[in-house]
Structure 1
Amino acid sequence: MASDPPAMTGSGDVPTVQVRDGSGRQLLCFLEQLIPLDGHDYALLTPVDTPVCLFRLSDDDDPELVETLNATEPILSVADVVLQEHDLTLVRSAVTLTVSGELEEPDPDELEDEEGDDDSETYELLVSFMAGEEEYGLYIPLDPFFVVARMEGADAVMVEGEEFERVQPRIEAELDERESDD
């Protein structure tokens, strides 16, 4: 019995799919590539909303990425209020925090003119704010943000841990091969 293709919706030509992580949180993504491996279809996805990273800022040091974050963290409540002033919404989704709303496109000329450390070249500051005694910033990664998921019928399940370690190099090899065929 053949399984039905994933139920995907979307505007334009790029289909979208809802991906779920191990905690049950979801993230709406564009389906970029479908890669068959070991009898499963793996999907390479990009978030529909803009991914953001939270950094702790200090005058003396480089910004420090806040990697583990509880969805009820008080810092995120402050970020919510700051973003609302810009008609943006912080979404606590699977994989990453995202921001929905109308964002200005970064000016490529400005990005090239900026001198500085590696972080300033790979992230653009969206907003900064104070939470308690510390300053934080929400940054937009300038490199493409990809999510790897395994398609299970109409569902997309985020690939994490050992499975990710196992399939990620094979997916990259398949993508390199597809690019060289073009």
Structure 2
Amino acid sequence: MSSSGPSSSGEVPTVLVKDSEGRDLLCFLEQLIPLDGKDYALLTPVDTPVCLFKLRDGDDPQLIDSITSSEPILSVADVVLQEHDLTLVRSAVTLTVNGELDEPEPEDPDDEEGDDESETYELLVSFLVENQEYGLYIPLDPFFVVARMDDGCAVLVEGEDFDRIQPRIEAELDERDLPE
């Protein structure tokens, strides 16, 4: 029986993933999935992924899913995180936080209706920028990254390529999880 997951010594290999803009993200290699003669890697970030939300009184927080790394909001977030001995990293795929974090407590702080599209988050820090409140939240669901392995280098699978390959990777993983 062979395994394409972590070695039996318990050490999980790490891979540096690059996106189309040249940013990188250090990840743990969780699974290798061969498809169409290429190896695809299922990865999880080494640092803690975080999501930026705009907070509004009485309304659900609004996810900000597109932000440039030079955005003033992130400079303020940097300063706030430094007060907690944490560092904001503008990585490929997602923002991440480097440093010692307390274990998140599973709760659903802002989503009482529970629609299927929503994830569960824990507020890490909140801060004000020009009288607007923002928050950095940690997703409590696992955060996976898909990369294609090319000559030992991991290249992020993005856009249409991701849309095309994701269902096939999920099907392969479902098949692997079936009891023999």
TM-score, normalised with respect to structure 2: 0.88
Which residue of 77, 98, 101 maps to 1:100? 98
Q: Specify the alignment match of 1:142 in structure 2.
A: 140
Contact 2:105–2:122, Cα closer than 8 Å, also in 1: no
Which residue of 112, 116, 120 maps to 1:116? 112
Q: 1:105 to 1:61 in 2, by over 3 A?
A: same
Q: Specify the alignment match of 2:130 in structure 1.
A: 132
More helix by share: 1
Q: Specify the alignment match of 1:156 in structure 2.
A: 154
Q: Give the gaps of 5 or more residues in structure 1.
A: 1-10
- Distance apart, 1:144 and its partner CA: 0.3
1:33-64 deviations in Å (ceiling 9; x for gaps): 00000111000000000000000001031100
- Distance apart, 1:165 and its partner CA: 1.2
Q: 1:115 to 1:19 in 2, by over 3 A?
A: closer
Determine if the alignment matches structure 1 residue 42 to structure 2 residue 55.
no
Q: Specify the alignment match of 2:171 in structure 1.
A: 173
Count of aligned pairs: 170
- Distance apart, 1:117 and its partner CA: 4.4
Letter in 2 for 1:159: V
Misfit runs of 4+, over 3 Å:
112-115, 117-121
Q: Structure 2: how far apart are the matches of 1:14 and 1:21?
A: 22
TM-score, normalised with respect to structure 1: 0.87
- Distance apart, 1:116 and its partner CA: 2.8
Q: Specify the alignment match of 2:62 in structure 1.
A: 64
Letter in 2 for 1:130: L
- Distance apart, 1:107 and its partner CA: 2.9
Q: Structure 1: how far apart are the matches of 2:157 and 2:179?
A: 27
Q: Specify the alignment match of 1:53 in structure 2.
A: 51
- Distance apart, 1:138 and its partner CA: 0.1
Contact 1:114–1:121, Cα closer than 8 Å, also in 2: no
Q: Structure 2: how far apart are the matches of 1:127 and 1:118?
A: 23
Q: Aligned-pair RMSD on alpha carbons?
A: 2.1
Q: 1:112 to 1:67 in 2, by over 3 A?
A: closer
- Distance apart, 1:121 and its partner CA: 6.4
